[in-house]
């Protein structure tokens, strides 16, 4: 199993989160073919960079993820994500190890 974890820092306001959902997450949903929920982070205030929202998408393999991210919508996701990178941390997690 392979996951992409997107964690939104508390520096993001409500307008930025809505914009992130409408301009970034929507393209990942289309590329992966599934709905992605944004969840509230509860209890991360002790981190050096506290987070307020989190979302994840699961793929069976890294190859499946790479294939999704190489589609036109996957490329839009990557391109649009760069404009939010100061407010988002991205983790790629491989559970197959």
What CATH code is carried by the domain that includes residue 50?
Answer: 3.30.70.100
Pairing mode, strands 51-59 and 88-94: unpaired
Average pLDDT, the chain: 90
Residues 6 or more apart whose Cβ sits within 8 Å of residue 12? 20, 52, 53, 84, 87, 88
Does pTM top 0.75 for this prediction? yes
73-94 pLDDT, tens digit each: 999 999 999 989 899 999 999 9
Number of compact structural domains in the chain: 1
The dihedral built from the CA positions of residue 26, 28, 33 and 37, taken in this order, carries a sign that is negative
For residue 36, give its domain range: 2-94
Residue among 4, 24, 28 nearest 12 (CA): 24
């Amino acid at each position: 199993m392979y996951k992409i974890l997107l964690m939104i820092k508390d520096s993001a306001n409500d307008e930025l989160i809505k914009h992130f959902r409408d301009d970034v997450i929507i393209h990942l949903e289309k590329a992966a073919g599934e709905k992605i929920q944004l969840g509230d982070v509860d209890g991360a205030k002790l981190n050096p960079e506290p987070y307020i929202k989190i979302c994840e998408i699961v793929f069976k393999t890294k190859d499946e993820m790479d294939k999704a991210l190489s589609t036109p919508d996957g490329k839009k996701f990557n391109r649009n994500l760069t404009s939010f990178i100061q407010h988002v941390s991205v983790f790629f997690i491989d559970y197959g190890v």
